[in-house]
Structure 1
């Protein structure tokens, strides 16, 4: 399966400009991409001002994702602000052609930015399907909590979408590699570039193999696009040859 990761600079709290920018990037993608992944809060940047965004614009985001998925015939993922029953969520959307948009709400809210004071935490771990592939969605700060992403032999691809600051880039690189190795899965880490108020981002988006090896390649035409080919048979052969998952400890998460 061919995947594409997009890591552009985002326009601060400007949904229209960001959506138009991504539409332009979609036009430049190589053929036969099955999955395209956008960063965390790809419509606004990592804002703590969700109430400033019009509710109509928030409703439009999943509709736009569905429209783009059907237009280009690929699955599309990324997180954005969602409003529901007077609460705001940092919501990971997953859209596929002719399929209802699915979502996962970020569980671990970044208290150093007081995210927990502006958004509600998700409670449910979810698995999405794309053909034979099983996908576990995660958002940014979730990366620091390995129990929440522990593979129970129920997924093949682990996706992290993020606005991860450049000052902690080494942490991003290290934890992504650890998640791939310990879960014997493909890891897609998608981070933005550019600047937001007081914060620099340098991307570092990457695709890692179940052995923790980097397998992504940069687009020859646009440095903010990366590609990778995922091999399900190769992953399964490695899991059978080195079945560490069979010795994993049983655990239960209790809220």
Structure 2
């Protein structure tokens, strides 16, 4: 299965311009699944009233249109308003337009995200192309319990607006999550700048042994990677560390 990681800059709070740019990346991608960064339509906005849309809005509608037009799944996070509440919502759109959603669990309170957004309360795993994907957003990467694989997923996707000042943490934790979970890890970050931060990109696909399969620098780019479920399953059978994992329950 081929996945495309789209790393690009975005215009601050200009969702129309960002949708035009995002479609160009989706159209260019020769892949079964195209992944866009966190809040790709607006930039990382912590005052969502100005830019939030409902699930019936144009941003979500455009994602569905891209998926149908180009015949590939499209994933990324957007700011959603529901009943006066705001969510940083990861959307996975199948080629037929069906949507699976997952709200960001760990809100970045240090940057003010926790003041205006509602945290998610469940992990979401989608099946596509013979693989099971866990859908997570940015700051979730720092919390290994929420990311823990209990033999229930094959790859984890982190879409992010992760600043350059903490790029070593980003690069290190992507590989740690791959190694400890014996899973593919796909990290899609933005590049460029907004009013509060500069972003160095460093989007990457990491193999289930922790090896770098492909990695970007700070430039806008489209990375593609082939994921092999048979190789993954063979490795898990050969080195089944997951069988010895601690049992636990999540309380949210």
TM-score by length of 1: 0.94
Question: How far off its partner does 1:198 sit?
Answer: 2.7
d(CA) in 2 for partners of 1:94 and 1:34? 12
Tell me, in whole angstroms, the C-alpha distance in 1 between the residues paired with 2:117 and 2:56: 14
| Shift in Å, 1:106 | 0.2
Q: What runs of 5+ residues in structure 2 fail to find an aligned partner?
A: none
| Pairing 1:62-81 to 2, within 5 Å after superposition | 62-81=60-79
1:23 has 2:61 as partner: no
1:237 aligns with 2:237: no
Which consecutive aligned stretches of 4+ in structure 1 deviate over 6 angstroms post-superposition? none
User: How many residue pairs are counted as aligned between the two chains?
Assistant: 251
CA contact (8 A) 1:128 1:134 kept: yes
Task: Provide the secondary structure at the position in 2 that maps to 1:83.
Answer: strand
Deviation at 1:27, TM superposition (A): 3.0
For 1:154 and 1:200, how far apart are their aligned partners in 2? 35
Contact 1:59 1:82 in 2 (8 A): no
Shift of 1:190: 0.3
Aligned residue runs from structure 1 range 70-219, under 5 A: 70-216=68-214
Note the aligned Cα RMSD (angstroms).
1.7
Report the TM-score, using the length of structure 2 for normalisation. 0.95
CA distance in 2, matches of 1:254, 1:89: 20
Rounded Cα–Cα distance in structure 1 between residues aligned with 2:109 and 2:215: 33
Give the match for residue 247 of structure 1. Answer: 244
Distance 1:127 1:27 in 2: 25
Secondary structure at the counterpart of residue 39 of structure 1 = coil
